[in-house]
Structure 1
Amino acid sequence: MMDPDYLLFTRAVDAGSLSAAGRMLNISPAMMSKRISRLEARLGVRLIHRTTRRLALTEEGASLHRDITGILEAIQQAEDRATNRHRAISGALRVSAPTSFGRLHIAPHVQRFLQSHPKVDLELNLSDAYEDLLSQRVDLAIRITSDVPAHLEGHYLAANQRILCASPAYLSEHGAPQKIADLSRHRLLAAEGQLPWRLDNGRMRRQIDGRSHVRTNSSEIVRELAVTGAGIALRSLWDVGPLLAEGKLVRLLDGWEGPSDLAVYAVHPRAAGRPPAVDAFIAFLRQTFRNAPWNVPASKH
């Protein structure tokens, strides 16, 4: 039998905070913290950072969470095979996702999901607006957030490391910032509402104020502007990983990055008896993202 503290730890990560998980499990935050500490003492490693307001995983914590999640999913799949419940997964499934993330990391895998669940009638809509799931009749939304609202149930899917980057052309013309204060003298690129930037480097915290060199409401435009040499951007690894590997973008100020509390979640309204297709799609995305090259905790990269 799996140690109950493992399950509690996983629920805390999926909920995004000890207090949120405690509300779901009817356990006080103090007891949640005590049991996590007990698990850390037994394992001899620290699993979460206690210097942040939100729950942020250490490298060991992120690794343990991935492994436990994989075990739980394997158990669920074994039960499904034993009871033939996968045959009952059918009906409409309306999913919402951010535009860039949905295009890059969900749409390419949809056909594989439908091959496993051919009776699911899937609708995938991409939007950068935070839709009201109930009024829009959305069964499941993918959100990149640090705070899952209390009226929604959140399921952790993947990390969302964000790094500073610019193109070789921009750096050739303007030079590379050598310290965090140098950013005030550079051209910054951000979509509407994305400035100021909050950046962390270990225990150091900085807020970068300013205005975008080009105003836009599109994160995809920000990425393209960075590639063409318009300025410095703060981008997620899932968005610019291949561009970094190809040398079209260069990471700047190594060690400084966006706070690690921001992550990729699947969220849905809290309701008993939700459609099996919702759980099936969440499990599918977790499996798909588990070994993605961009899905690494901030401390690992």
Structure 2
Amino acid sequence: MNWDDFDAFCQVVDHGGFTAAARALDRPKSSLSASVSRLEAQLNTRLLERTTRQLRLTEAGESLYRDISKPFAQLRERAVEALAQGTTVQGTLRIAAPYEFGAHHLASVACRLMREHPQLKVHVDVEHARVALFERNYDLVFSAIEHSFAPSTVVTKRVYSLERGLFASPELLRGHAPPEHPEELNALPLLGGGEDQSWSFTRADGGSAEVEVRNPRLRSGNAEIRLKAAIEGIGVARITSTFCAEAVAQGKLVRLLPQWTCSPLRIHALLPGRRLVAAKVRAFLDLLEEESRGN
């Protein structure tokens, strides 16, 4: 009896199908299908009803899954904890991150880590919308969601703070006087993030201000779209400074209200609520923190 076939059956059920399970396990779909077929032959019973649109457990499949799914889940958890105790950085590290953070802060870290650890593979999903927490079996999710909104099964490992500023094109400013106070932004078209309702500002002398962003000229959770719209003179964008540094250096954008500080973009590094952290995750976070201090 091949216990890996039992585990493959549980994984297919857990992920809702062969394709999703193959993606999560980084295994060929044909391999999982062969495992389940072999198990059905050994048990001389049909476990899954396969159709083009869905997967359904038979009565025998439901009974088997009910009996073995929890023990196999516990075994996998123990295996993860055992690997976490080791120092070898290997396997596949699955990461999800918001576009504005992932595109400019994770690539160099991932490449350096893979150079240092030849046995490691890295999969990075960069999302424009809010990142779904661990729906696709991620090891690490970077999210702008505040810790209080994260499920109890998720732990916040570290928090990164990215400087943001207000940027506009010289063309836009030719028709408007540069603002000296945040309230003057009301006279300019604004480019809002997907969930922006207001922008808050502070000043070195203790002053503070808040500007409503309820009806922007453009609203998008995609920072690249807001950046391009700002360059085209459509409006004023609040973007992380690293993300638009090249456009500023080329003179395509200028910074507004430099004496005022925007609230930073806080990115939370979230992990599944396991007691131990895998070596590959620790290594990635350590290297990211090292590069963050160097910037």
Match of 2:290 among 263, 287, 292: 287
Do the aligned partners of 2:198 and 2:213 also contact (CA within 8 Å) in 1?
yes
Secondary structure at the counterpart of residue 113 of structure 2: helix
Identity percentage over the alignment? 26
> In the aligned structure 1, how far is the partner of 2:266 from the partner of 2:213?
23
The residue number in structure 1 matching 2:249 is 245
> In the aligned structure 1, how far is the partner of 2:132 from the partner of 2:221?
20
Instruction: Judge which range, 153-162 or 271-280, deviates more.
Output: 153-162
Over 3 Å counting, the alpha-carbon distance change for 1:130 and 1:186 in structure 2 is closer
> In the aligned structure 2, how far is the partner of 1:142 from the partner of 1:134?
11
Deviations 1:28-53 (A, max 9, x none): xxxxxxxxxxxxxxxxxxxxxxxxxx
Aligned-CA RMSD value: 2.4
What amino acid is aligned across from residue 238 of structure 2 in structure 1? L
The structure that has the greater radius of gyration is 2
Do the aligned partners of 1:167 and 1:228 also contact (CA within 8 Å) in 2?
yes
Q: Give the deviation of 1:110 after TM superposition.
A: 2.2
Runs (4+) of structure 1 exceeding 6 A deviation are: none
The residue number in structure 2 matching 1:226 is 230
Count of aligned pairs: 207
The residue number in structure 2 matching 1:16 is none
TM-score by length of 1: 0.62
Secondary structure at the counterpart of residue 174 of structure 1: coil
State how 1:121-132 maps to structure 2 within 5 Å.
121-132=121-132
TM-score by length of 2: 0.63
The residue number in structure 1 matching 2:191 is 189
Q: Structure 1 regions of 5+ residues with no counterpart?
A: 1-84, 293-301
State how 1:87-106 maps to structure 2 within 5 Å.
88-106=88-106
Secondary structure at the counterpart of residue 121 of structure 2: strand
> In the aligned structure 2, how far is the partner of 1:180 from the partner of 1:124?
37
Match of 1:268 among 267, 271, 285: 271
State how 1:96-245 maps to structure 2 within 5 Å.
96-147=96-147, 149=150, 151=152, 152-156=154-158, 158-201=160-203, 202-245=206-249
> In the aligned structure 2, how far is the partner of 1:96 from the partner of 1:283?
17
Do the aligned partners of 1:157 and 1:285 also contact (CA within 8 Å) in 2?
no
Over 3 Å counting, the alpha-carbon distance change for 1:213 and 1:289 in structure 2 is same
Over 3 Å counting, the alpha-carbon distance change for 1:158 and 1:219 in structure 2 is same
Do the aligned partners of 1:157 and 1:286 also contact (CA within 8 Å) in 2?
no
Do the aligned partners of 2:109 and 2:287 also contact (CA within 8 Å) in 1?
no
> In the aligned structure 2, how far is the partner of 1:146 from the partner of 1:198?
17
Deviations 1:54-76 (A, max 9, x none): xxxxxxxxxxxxxxxxxxxxxxx
Over 3 Å counting, the alpha-carbon distance change for 1:181 and 1:159 in structure 2 is same
Do the aligned partners of 2:147 and 2:268 also contact (CA within 8 Å) in 1?
no
> In the aligned structure 1, how far is the partner of 2:258 from the partner of 2:102?
28
Secondary structure at the counterpart of residue 195 of structure 2: coil
> In the aligned structure 2, how far is the partner of 1:165 from the partner of 1:113?
33
